[in-house]
Amino acid sequence: MISDVLIIGAGGAGLSAAIAAQEEGLSVRVLTKEYPTRSQTCMAQGGINAALGNHGEDSIEAHIANTLKSAHGEADENAVVFMCEEAPNAIVWLDSIGVPFSRTPDGKIAQRTLGGASAARACFAQDYTGLKILHTLYDKALALGVEMLADKFLLELLKNTDDAVCGAKVLDIRTGEVQTYFAKSVVLATGGYSRIYGHYSTNSKISTGDGIAAAKHAGARLLGMEFVQFHPTGLKNSSILISESARGEGGYVLNSKGERFTNELAPRDELSRAIDAEIKKGEDVFIDIRHLGEEFIDENLPQERKLAKLYENVDPVHELIPIKPVAHYTMGGIEVDNVSQTSVDGLFACGECANHRVHGANRLGGNSLLEIVVFGREAGKSAAKRAKSLDDFNANTQESTHILERLEDFSNEIDFYQVQKELAELFYTKVGIVRKPSELQEVHNKLQEINTQLPRMGVSDTNKIYNTNLLEFLEFCNMLELAQSIVEASLARKKSCGAHFVAEE
Ligand SMILES: Cc1cc2nc3c(=O)[nH]c(=O)nc-3n(C[C@H](O)[C@H](O)[C@H](O)COP(=O)(O)OP(=O)(O)OC[C@H]3O[C@@H](n4cnc5c(N)ncnc54)[C@H](O)[C@@H]3O)c2cc1C
């Protein structure tokens, strides 16, 4: 089963890469554990940035300056310039393939202001921006003839005797079979790792960092793993996101006394810390959009109203929305160069699983959807270029080292679901918005203890078909692996920087 390009992950990044590679006239196969249209990209609400200036003045220079400022010196200026310069083309392309962007009365693409932006720069489709982009990309990829295989769980990357990646080993979720897919180039587009924070996260259950863990096993370097972005406005009880569009459209952040205590459009790291400090003083914190009026809310923020009603039992047209900051986006990931090449030959990466150094220590709202389209397409082109340039294909693979090979020896005395919950709690309180070196060390020690106990965990369900117990254990192992990378990177970075905020002991 050899293809020219194998893409793992069918979110916005994977599908953008697949379309670009297919347009090069190559055979492209996409494997994904979730059905493509349910990838986390569909949850993005607020918008995608491009300095179009359709709603007041804006410039590419301002977009670059805002992005670099928010990144706290951790971004690569060339990569940021490339992304911001490409942004208007990306919007024109998305528009041309059918993304139904909201429009101004004179028919231009509508734009709104998100945190840290000096202008109304985020293009949106109401507050369903990611969903509309994802589904349009999926239609386009299918129309071009990209082969799409769902219910395939990446276990490990295959490396050949030249030490290059030459494919992937996956678990077929429908049958329980382990399968091998060879390819001349492999692109990882498997999303981020915020689910380490369990239910203290806005992310879907699939964001368990599987691709990053597989890349780490294959010897790829990771970068910036300590930079985990907390979104200031998760719903208090469920952590479901109330999008930045609510503040972008004029919503206020209030404490229990009804006071506005912060700049609502500050970058996320600053606003999350301000809200966290208020909560630690014993205050409740809310978003207030009542003054925007029912008609405006239903036209521009319909999803926010639905989510608040469904998951917090409040109607934002008449009531305050209780919120708390929760883990939302992971800036760190697989280190890639400016053509999305990882440190391992044959392996490319894009989207939230990769670190293209465009977000640095703190991502700006609206820049992730932009990154997945711009660098997704670049990764597809780079993977295609490598596939075309290969004279011979070496499929002599090295021996497998995946945990699945050893699972029969695991005893299943300790409930890993319970350990996962404890780990999430520990991460939220000690590897969260404010971090202390002594607490990071405590978490580091705890991780070592969990690792020693791992052979006493395992799965109780021995079914082959749709064995979610097995999948969740494999995801738990991946998160455990990356939890260590986060804590080690956090301990190594002694000074505060963006989302990594170090407090005095
Ligand atoms: C609630 C919410 C709102 C957001 N709003 C915005 C916004 O308004 N603007 C913005 O710019 N950004 C926003 N973001 C961030 C943005 O949506 C994501 O960063 C981006 O969509 C990630 O895209 P991706 O393609 O990299 O990954 P994903 O969309 O997460 O896709 C990952 C893919 O990899 C597959 N996969 C994962 N593991 C495996 C495995 N083991 N085997 C096989 N396949 C696997 C999954 O099935 C999936 O298809 C938001 C995020 C959230 C959670």
Q: Give DSSP secondary structure letters for 187-219.
A: EE-----GGGGTTSBSS-TT-S-HHHHHHHHTT
Task: Specify the fold of 231-326.
Answer: Flavocytochrome C3; Chain A, domain 1 (3.90.700)
Query: Atom 4 (ligand 1): residue with closest C-alpha?
Result: 44
In the prediction, which pLDDT does 77 show? 98
In the prediction, which pLDDT does 149 show? 98
In the prediction, which pLDDT does 245 show? 87
Q: How far apart are CA 423 and CA 196, in angstroms?
A: 8
For the 403-492 domain, the top CATH level (class) is mainly alpha
Look up the CATH architecture of domain 2-226+331-389. 3-Layer(bba) Sandwich (3.50)
> Which pair of structure tokens corresponds to residue 389?
């340039």
Query: Atom 9 (ligand 1): residue with closest C-alpha?
Result: 366
In the prediction, which pLDDT does 401 show? 81
Task: State residue 323 phi and psi, 5-degree precision.
Answer: -135, 165
What mean pLDDT is reported for the chain? 96
Residue 367's region, left for phi above 0, alpha for psi from -120 to 50, else beta, is: alpha
Q: Range(s) for CATH 3.50.50.60 in the chain? A: 2-226+331-389
Q: At what angle do helices 367-389 and 129-144 cross, to 10 degrees?
A: 20
Q: Range(s) for CATH 1.20.58.100 in the chain? A: 403-492
Catalytic positions: 268
Is 1 exposed, middle or buried (CB count within 10 Å of its CB: 0-12, 13-18, 19+)? Answer: exposed
- Taking CB atoms and a 6 Å cutoff, what residues make up the pocket around ligand 1? 8-14, 31-34, 36, 39-41, 43-48, 129-130, 152-154, 189-191, 202-203, 206-207, 210-211, 241, 329, 351-352, 365-369, 372
Q: How far apart are CA 453 and CA 223, in angstroms?
A: 28
In the prediction, which pLDDT does 143 show? 98
359 beta partners? none
Ligand 1 centroid to Cα of residue 121, in Å, is 21
Low-confidence ranges of the chain (pLDDT < 70): none
- The closest alpha carbon to 312, from 205, 239, 203, belongs to 239
Q: Range(s) for CATH 3.90.700.10 in the chain? A: 231-326
Ligand 1 centroid to Cα of residue 264, in Å, is 25
260 beta partners? 254
Q: How far apart are CA 86 and CA 89, in angstroms?
A: 5
Ligand 1 centroid to Cα of residue 505, in Å, is 35
Q: Are 20 and 141 in contact (CB under 8 A)?
A: no
Ligand 1 centroid to Cα of residue 86, in Å, is 21
Ligand 1 centroid to Cα of residue 415, in Å, is 28
Assign 46 to helix, strand or coil. coil
Query: Atom 14 (ligand 1): residue with closest C-alpha?
Result: 44
In the prediction, which pLDDT does 358 show? 98
Total Cβ atoms within 10 A of residue 392: 6
In the prediction, which pLDDT does 312 show? 96
In the prediction, which pLDDT does 400 show? 82
In the prediction, which pLDDT does 408 show? 86
- The closest alpha carbon to 47, from 115, 144, 104, 97, belongs to 115
Pocket test for ligand 1, best of 190, 301, 328, 336 (most atoms within 8 A of CB): 190
Pocket test for ligand 1, best of 8, 15, 41, 126 (most atoms within 8 A of CB): 41
